[in-house]
Amino acid sequence: MPASPWVVRWAALARPGGDALDVACGSGRHARWLAQSGFGLHAVDRDAQAIASLQQALPGLPSSRLVCSDLEQAPWPFGGRRFDLVVVTHYLWRPLLPALADSLAEDGVLIYETFTRDHAGIGKPSRPDFLLQPGELLLHAARAGLRVVAYEDGFEAPPGRFIQRIAAVRESKAAQSGEPARRYSL
């Protein structure tokens, strides 16, 4: 499966060659794309088999950059680390949201894309724990002090799903102090 067009579009805001983290990477469609695009890839998932498969697909990548961890039961495995890009798709664990924002370097980009509560009426996931409320990603970005660059919330056809997406940036201290802002558009 190819990388999400949303991820591909907004990853261009991140520092070229910077460190990127794919959270709940699963089979690694975004991890592979990020590595092929020249990012210093890091990835995490609770599925050891998925991590092993990703290691085989990316043999030059140090195994220490592919982490097997249950993000819902274990501590955040990247405490103190900062990334130029953090990507999350089709995964929601609300207690993790502050750690994701804290993991952004200055001018780091958060790209998040997952299902909304309306999706429960047409398919899985359907549990409210795994579905975003209206405007929830905007609220998270505001609480974390991130600048929202792009946001979508609605029905996508095809493939036929209700989805919410955000691209947000942790602005540098210079930009926050009134220096000319970096352009955040493509």
> What is the pLDDT, as a whole number, of residue 159?
86
CA triple 153-155-156, angle to 5 deg: 110
Q: Alpha-carbon distance 88 to 34, whole Å?
A: 12
| Assigned token pair, 40 | 């210093």
Note the pTM of the prediction, 2 decimals: 0.93
State pLDDT tens for residues 19-31: 999 999 999 999 9
State pLDDT tens for residues 48-97: 999 999 999 999 899 999 999 999 999 999 999 999 999 999 999 999 99
Interhelix angle 29-36/48-57, nearest 10 degrees: 30
